[in-house]
Structure 1
Amino acid sequence: MKNWIWGVVIVFLGVLLLLSASFYTVDQSQNALLMQFGKVLRVEKSPGLYMKWPLLQHVQYVDKRLQSYSPQPVSFLTADKKPVLLDFFAEWRVTDPGLYAARLHDQADAQAQIGDALRTALSSQVGTMSMASLIAVSQQALAAPVLSQVNQQLQNLGIHVLDLRILQVGLSPEVLQATYKRMEAEQIQQANTYRAEGKSAADEIRANAEKEKTTILADAYRQQEEIKGQGDAEAASIYGAAYGKDPQFFAFYRSLEAYRHALSNKTVLVLNPDSPFFKYFRHSLSEAGK
């Protein structure tokens, strides 16, 4: 009796397990592929509950949401042979789950295929552009031909790349360092040019200043000599007028001037007492005035 009851329980559990294995659910973010012996029987794209034959069939799920591919910056060569680093990302999704499941093992394999296709297409496109045109080009103008080539290459994998965005166009560290050195050399050369021009201008200013100084001194000396000559002429005229009025007084005055200049401190004169130089010492002041 007990064995019969256990038998019924075991059969019930087996039927229940068989029934649970006969159904599967599809989420709204997934595509479900019903597989039998490695072949795709059907693809369920709508969310819901579906039935399968247990042990014979199994379900493989494929994400149908928008997915991103964002690699590290990649180096490319422009048409003018200048290496550039492009930082970019792409948005893609699975459009044919059957092809996707048949050709690719997993999402990592899909990302690798997308990366290869993008690098190839970007290399071809960047290779036709100069550095200046690459920097100035719009996102749409650069992405459109690349997306066309990539999707043509990936269509047999059930993948479609919807968008490509270039985040940054830069230079490789080696080229960047060389650019900095070239800029530094150019700045040093320009600074040396400015210094040379400044020195030349300073020398010219000094030369002009010296020339102007010489001219001013010469003009001042000329004016000085003219004024001195006028003064000497006026003094001579005054002396002449004074001599004409009273020759003896003029001779006396001139002698006093000679005494004042000649008989200064520490002056030693060796003269004959009868010398005309001392004639006013030999006569009284009153006689000198007669």
Structure 2
Amino acid sequence: MDALKQLICFAWEQTLACIFPVVIFASLAFTQSVSFTFLPRYDCLLVIFLLMQWWMVYSGMETKDELKVITLFHLIGLALEIFKVHMGAWAYPEKGYFKILGVPLYSGFMYASVASYLCQSWRRLRVELVRWPPFLIVVTLALAIYLNFFIHHYWLDVRWWLTGLVVIVFWRSWVIYEVNGIRYRMPLTLSFVLIGFFIWIAENIATLFGAWKYPNQTGSWRLVHLGKVSSWVLLVIVSFLIVATLKQIKERKEADEVRVSESK
């Protein structure tokens, strides 16, 4: 019964951390079944997501620092979307006023929602990192993974080499989290895989609701290839590394400010 209670508490905290992704899925389903004559669907989604983001900050569910991180992910995701659509990886066939090179602006929020989940989980579960690799290695690895999403269209796809590097670099790294006052730990690489798999499930739901379409889904909806899990795992790694690095920079800055104030 204690284990069941802890599992329910963990599921509840994860549900709260997923509030932004849940709103995205609900909005996709709602706008697919209800048409708006005054505004295209993609633009309606943009308005909904902007209002949701404003409400989360206004209500205190997200801090201003977390908003900065989420905005960064919005820009990173939008840049990736523009490139992938240009290369024909997927498409946004519906019309919209707020589009950049065929990509609706709302699409960046789907990447931002991953950052929102990570930030929320970090705070709600009091996440701590054990044996975190050096800053330079983390930044270089994150940059290499992100660039591979672009470069593999023109050169070799080195995702599996990068995956091997991730396993080597984070082999001894653990994530410690708290549920109902009890501390648990998990291998960091396992958390990457689990989050990536659940994002793949979310991707299938999103494409079912017409968020975007892969080439093999233009006629009718089909399950997204299982191989996409590897792409999401790598994207989760990039997201986690960025969030973790920014969190550590902030903690060091706050610690320095405390030391300076105590020395006066």
Please indicate, yes or no, whether the TM-score normalized by the shorter chain is above 0.5. no
Identify, as 1 or 2, the structure richer in helix: 2
Identify, as 1 or 2, the structure richer in strand: 1
State the structure with more CA Rg: 1
